[in-house]
Structure 1
Amino acid sequence: MKKTQVEISWDWPAPFVYETKVEPQHIDDFQHTNNVVYLTWMAKAAWEHSKALGLDFDRYAALNRGMVVRRHELEYLAASRQGDPVLIGTWITANDGRLRLRRRFQMVNGETGETLLRGLTDFVCINVKTGRATRMPAEFVTTYSLTAHVENDI
């Protein structure tokens, strides 16, 4: 018998969704997913979305430009436990067309629909060879266009 897919109440429409599962190595002494794992999942979801948009590391190298993390913010709302399916939704909610980009995240238990975490990551564009902040190429401005509107995001 096939499990019924739970209805997910996403914070904004049409997220890019990365799916994962809580594995034994993700569990801490409190018997729930360790905080660092959520951050890792945010990074993985962002990178998978970037690759789906056509901006993988080979493309970054060819452009000599890349987006790197400047700041993370995570709000833990509920615990996940071994075996739980986790859906990570991400949206691009700000792109100043020059240097900065913001992604927002929502993690949801795929069986219950409960929101586990909300977070955001601010990125800056760098020159890959020097590591210095630099203006985004036009390809980043258009490819990393907004996928959700959040009032007062950068």
Structure 2
Amino acid sequence: MKWDRPDPFTLDISVQSDDIDGLGHANNAVYVSWLERCAWRHSQRLGLDLTEYRRLDRAMAVVRHEIDYLASAYEDEQLVMGTWIVEWDRKLKMDRCFQLIRPADGMTLLRARTTFVCIELSSGRPRRMPAEFLDGYGQAVLEPAVV
């Protein structure tokens, strides 16, 4: 597969019948759920799961999605979603990029960028990232010189 950036965290996706809309392809809202699932699994891999979020009273919440839908996905297709943390300010904000590839033909179906802000769970207000976020997410930040 030809990834836009090196060494993505990847998630295998199987397009299910429930993902298909009236036009016969995966609904655009389903793609958003795949973005969320991929980002969440990556966070878990970095040691930042729901238990840790609750313990720290912090979470990374989506404030913006930019999505380019490039081609359709169809029932029973096998796809791979890749993600990278491409920017962060080490305080509040973090950006992830995503790429969705259909391995059968190597086609990129989607590119996306999501901006997250660190919030305090108990209040919902923006708060600085705790040291655990700096350590966990920091290990995955892509070097700025890439792409």
- Where do residues 88-127 of structure 1 align in structure 2 (5 Å cutoff)? 88-127=81-120
Structure 1's unaligned 5+ residue stretches are: 1-7
Indicate yes or no: 2:89 matched with 1:65: no
Q: For each residue in 1:56-88, what CA deviation from the matched residue of structure 2 results, as whole angstroms up to 9, or x when unmatched?
A: 010001111110001001000011111110100
Count of aligned pairs between the two proteins: 144
What secondary structure is seen at the aligned counterpart in 2 of 1:144? helix
Q: TM-score if structure 1 supplies the norm length?
A: 0.90
| Candidates 126, 134, 143, aligned match of 2:127 | 134
Q: Matches of 1:123 and 1:37 in 2, distance apart?
A: 19
Question: 4+ residue runs of structure 1 moved beyond 3 angstroms?
Answer: none
The aligned residue for residue 75 of structure 1 is: 68
Check conservation: 1:84, 1:110, Cα contact below 8 A: no
Partner SS, residue 82 of structure 1: coil
Per the alignment, residue 148 of structure 1 pairs with 142
In the alignment, the residues of structure 2 paired with residue 97 and residue 63 of structure 1 have an alpha-carbon distance, to the nearest angstrom, of 16
Percent identity reads: 42
Whole-angstrom distance in 2 between the partners of 1:150 and 1:68? 23
User: How far does residue 113 in structure 1 lie from its aligned partner after superposition?
Assistant: 1.2
1:13 is aligned to: 6
Output one character per residue of 1:103-148: Cα deviation in whole Å (capped at 9) or x when no partner.
Answer: 1000001211100000011000011111110010111112112442
Task: Give 1:41's aligned amino acid.
Answer: W
Aligned Cα RMSD in Å?
Answer: 1.1
